[in-house]
Amino acid sequence: MTGILGRIRAFWNETITEVFVKASWPSFKELVDSTAVVLAVTALLGAVVFLCDFSLSNFVQFATRLMR
Secondary structure (DSSP) of the chain: -HHHHHHHHHHHHHHHHIIIII--PPPHHHHHHHHHHHHHHHHHHHHHHHHHHHHHHHHHHHHHHHH-
What are the residues whose beta carbons fall under 8 Å from the beta carbon of 26, sequence distance 6 or more? 34
Residues 38-66 pLDDT 10s: 999 999 999 999 999 999 999 999 999 99
Residues 15-33 pLDDT 10s: 999 998 888 889 999 999 9
- Structural domains of the chain, count: 1
Domain hosting 39: range is 2-67
CB 34 within 8 A of CB 26: yes
* pTM beyond cutoff 0.75: no
The pair phi, psi for residue 55, each rounded to 5°, is -65, -45
